[in-house]
Chain A
Amino acid sequence: MNFMFEFEWNTIEMVCTATAWAILCFWIIHMYKKHDPEKRPKKRKIVVIFLVGLFSVSIDLPVFGEMISIAILPIGLAVAYTVLNRSRRWEVYSRYAWSGFAANYLFMVTTLVAAFLSSQLYPEGEIETYLDDVSGAELITIHPSAKESEFNAEQFEEDVSGFELEDADVIGWYEEVMEQEQDLETNERNQIKEKFPYLITGIESKEGDSVPVYLEADGKGMLLNTKENQYYYRSESASFLKEGVSEE
């Protein structure tokens, strides 16, 4: 059942879309009830004309980092009008066709609301968004230059809130190692020091994704990989990584 993992459930978007459809249903039922029972069309025809009205040409614009599609040409509406006006039935159907077109705007608003809600629930750049559940955190040494160290998981949970977003000087970090390399002979490559020689696994973000965290050699800097981005955080007061192995 592979698709279970590849399909991403975005809860906020789902709830918002469901709400939008519920509003539409209520609105159409309301219109139908208000419609003179002698004149109103059959229910299934209303569904068809609504879907036809929904059809439109739209442009996609990026707004607040979301792609918003704005309906501009009501093609479905035009087609319905041409066909129905010939047999003079347009009047009966027009309100449902127009609601179909209007639904485009409702969905547009839905996307905006969903984007707003996720930015409120999962604020970008705040460490708590990405390091939400750290109870399963485990430290793995990923580079030989890492010192023998002890990872205090409880202290880590406490320290997380003290971390602050900083600019990542990726080129600087890379070049620092290149310089080390130039100063060493080929057989001394085992002396190269990696800036982030640890990996912390088992961390989940608020959205429920697992987030790999690369830990700086001094235990005070973290590089977080999210689905789209990488963030660099530092805290001078972090003390969850202790050098040396405890005597216990």
Chain B
Amino acid sequence: MSRKQKGILVLILACIIGISVYFSQRMVVPDDFLSEQEILAGLPLENLDKEIQDIIQIDEKTYFVPYIADENVYSTSIFKWLDGKWTNVSESTWAGPLLLQADSEPYVFWNIHPGDNVENWELYFLYSRDYSLSYPGSEDEKTFYMPHIQVSETISKGEESYGYAPLPVELKNTVEAVTTNPKSPPETLSFSMKYPLSWQAHNSEGEAVILEKTRQYGGGGRYGGDYVSMLNELIEEELE
């Protein structure tokens, strides 16, 4: 092997090592999270006073930061370890429970005004009865009937204004089983979301409540990417 060849070989090896070190560094998740100052700098509504209520680690790469903006606006934000840094992937200021797709499991999380007196959340998986018929009378006739699905599970809201909980197993299994097959359903039988769930808040008497206080200042949210999605509020007329 000539000197030149050796030189090239060393260069290539150095490049490979360099690249793999760079990528493995990006993959390794550091033990410490952002400081409060760094979190605040990453939050929207810069000109409002904000108070961080808690910093909760959900899994290795996911943190949940509930905060109060302007003394009354109960807000949530989710940080994920993405591309080598902690990135704010979701913001919300007036929602009910939201769905978080963490690394292993789906979770729901929330932060609402204590004045709404919510005791628990009832999460529903609802699907309206449906059918489809293609190529009737021919050899390729395909029929589909989709039963009305109505399954619900309750999650306790807890003492604090904020909290999180894994998606109840039975609900998760049902959604996953129902959305497995058929792989290419007729259009009417398709699901727009991975977990098409809706929610209803209840007070300690078991009565349905609306999140009046939480929403009195208006608000909004950002549910970017594959991580956080909004859940619909239950439409009672859809229940059977």
**Which B170-222 residues sit within 8 Å CB-CB of chain A?**
170, 173-174, 177-178, 180-184
Are B143 and A143 closer than 8 Å at their CB atoms? no
B131 close to A173 (CB less than 8 A): yes
A-side contacts of B149, CB under 8 Å: 142-143, 199
Q: Could you tell me the distance in whole angstroms from the C-beta of A214 to the nearest C-beta in chain B?
A: 5
Residues 59-114 (chain A) with a chain B CB within 8 angstroms: none
Is the CB–CB distance between B143 and A212 below 8 Å? no
- The smallest beta-carbon distance between A67 and chain B, in angstroms, is 14
CB of B133 within 8 A of CB of A170, answer yes
Is the pair B150, A144 in contact by a Cβ cutoff of 8 Å?
Answer: yes
Interface size on A, residues (CB 8 A): 35
From residue A61, how far is it (CB to closest CB) to chain B in Å? Answer: 16
- Shortest CB distance B170–A (Å): 7
Is there a chain A Cβ closer than 8 Å to B154's Cβ? Answer: no
Asked whether, in the complex, the Cβ of A145 is within 8 Å of the Cβ of B240, the reply is yes
Cβ of A147 < 8 Å from any Cβ of B?
Answer: no
Stretch at the interface among A21-29, A154-162, A222-230, A240-248: A222-230
Most buried by B among A195, A209, A230: A230
B148: Cβ under 8 A from any A Cβ = yes
A170 to chain B, nearest CB (A): 4
Q: Find out whether the CB atom of B145 lies under 8 angstroms from the CB atom of A225.
A: no
B142 interface residue, CB < 8 Å from A? yes
Chain B residues whose C-beta falls within 8 Å of the C-beta of A199 in the assembled complex: 149, 174, 177-178
- Note all chain A residues with C-beta closer than 8 A to B130: 174
Return the contact of A143 from the options B142, B148, B173, B183 (Cβ within 8 A): B148
Query: In the complex the two chains form, what is the Cα distance from A159 to B116 in whole Å?
Result: 52
Given contacts A171-B131, A212-B181, A227-B183, 19 further A-B contacts (CB under 8 A): A140-B151, A140-B177, A145-B240, A170-B133, A170-B144, A171-B133, A174-B129, A174-B130, A186-B237, A189-B237, A190-B240, A194-B129, A197-B147, A199-B174, A199-B177, A201-B173, A201-B174, A230-B144, A230-B182
- Residues of A near any B CB (own CB < 8 A): 140-145, 168, 170-171, 173-174, 177, 186, 189-190, 192, 194-197, 199, 201, 209-212, 214, 223, 225-230, 232
- B interface list, Cβ under 8 A from A: 129-133, 142-145, 147-151, 170, 173-174, 177-178, 180-184, 237, 239-240
